[in-house]
């Protein structure tokens, strides 16, 4: 189980303290999907970065299977079983797509294995394996490659920050299938930050952030009804 307890994140902005996340608590079990949604600027990506250890909270704790991981670095968290994809993935000049996949796998991969992982996100491996993972790739291409690296890793909990961003409809459908398969295997917990109804509908639990605070949290069907009433979702 992954738990966040009373997490607050403050920044100093022109000499003033600004609260980006205010007393956020959540938990997710292995085999479940938690979708976090809410307006732009509500603190969703900040929460994802706090979970992965890219930034440190002002207050609060993160527990992974009961162990306090709040002070662990990104690398230590990755080793403990946490995975993460950025809303805007970084580029890697001089590193090929194949190399990125192999770094994620921790071993050499056959072309067939690379092809299997990339096809899960709608990419034809042969066209991409020897390309550099730099700015020559479009945002949607890099996004899908980054998601593929997380499919290779067997993290116990993986955070996907807006996996739909910049992805075409066809690839998005494949991604939904991939998430469904991951869920069916039941061996990892997925935290998906999204506004897309198709992803939101896959959730076991939904949490809505607004202005750094949790405004809704609970079982998916209940929260989904409330979201429909608030017209907060849209479909692709
Ligand atoms: P979301 O992912 O929900 O769109 P973010 O977590 O990216 O929102 O950002 C939440 C708010 O915090 C935004 O208003 C953003 O501008 C602000 N913010 C986040 N990090 C910083 C920072 N390092 N410095 C200043 N403002 C920040
Ligand atoms: Mg964001």
Sequence ranges of the domains in the chain: 2-229
pLDDT tens, residue by residue, 38-88: 999 999 999 999 999 999 999 999 999 999 999 999 999 999 999 999 988
Q: Which of 17, 24, 43 to mutate to test the pocket of ligand 1 (most atoms within 8 A of CB)?
A: 43
pLDDT tens, residue by residue, 133-146: 999 998 889 989 99
Alpha helices (H) along 71-124: 74-80, 97-105, 111-119
* For ligand 1, atom 19: residue with the closest CA: 46
Work out the average pLDDT over 178-207: 92
Q: Is the CB of 11 under 6 A from ligand 1?
A: yes
Which ligand is closest in space to the CA of residue 210?
1
Q: Which helix (H) or strand (E) holds 33?
A: strand 33-37
d(C-alpha 35, C-alpha 163), whole Å: 12
Work out the average pLDDT over 140-164: 91
* For ligand 1, atom 16: residue with the closest CA: 41
Residue 229 neighbours by CB under 8 Å, 6+ apart: none
Q: With a threshold of 0.85, does the pTM exceed it?
A: yes
Among 156, 3, 9, 170, smallest CA distance to 83 is for 156
Q: Which residues of 122-135 are buried (b: 16+ CB within 10 A; e: fewer)?
A: bbebeebbeebbee
Among 215, 147, 159, 148, smallest CA distance to 189 is for 159
Residue 180 corresponds to which tokens in the numbers above?
A: 């469904």
Residue 174 corresponds to which tokens in the numbers above?
A: 């494949």
Task: Pick 2-229's CATH classification: 3.20.20.70, 3.30.70.20, 3.40.50.300, 3.40.50.2000.
Answer: 3.40.50.300
At 171 the three-state DSSP class reads helix
Q: Is the CB of 40 under 6 A from ligand 1?
A: yes
């Amino acid at each position: 189980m992954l738990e966040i307890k009373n997490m607050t994140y403050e920044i100093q902005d022109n000499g003033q303290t600004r609260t980006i996340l205010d007393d956020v608590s959540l938990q997710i079990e292995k085999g479940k999907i938690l979708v976090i949604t809410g307006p732009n600027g509500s603190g969703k990506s900040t929460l994802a970065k706090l979970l992965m250890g890219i930034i440190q909270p002002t207050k609060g704790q993160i527990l992974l299977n009961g162990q306090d991981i709040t002070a662990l670095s990104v690398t230590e968290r990755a080793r403990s079983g946490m995975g993460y994809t950025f809303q805007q993935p970084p580029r890697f000049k001089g590193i090929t797509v194949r190399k990125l996949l192999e770094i994620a796998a921790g071993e050499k991969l056959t072309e067939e294995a690379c092809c299997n992982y990339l096809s899960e996100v709608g990419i034809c491996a042969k066209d991409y394996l020897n390309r550099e993972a730099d700015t020559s790739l479009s945002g949607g291409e890099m996004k899908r490659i980054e998601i593929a690296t997380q499919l290779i890793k067997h993290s116990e909990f993986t955070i996907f920050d807006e996996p739909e961003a910049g992805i075409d409809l066809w690839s998005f459908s494949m991604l939904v299938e991939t998430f469904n398969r991951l869920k069916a295997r039941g061996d990892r917990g997925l935290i998906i930050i999204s506004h897309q109804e198709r992803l939101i509908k896959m959730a076991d639990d939904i949490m809505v952030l607004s202005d750094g605070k949790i405004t809704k949290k609970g079982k998916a069907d209940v929260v989904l009804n409330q979201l429909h009433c608030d017209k907060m979702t849209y479909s692709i």
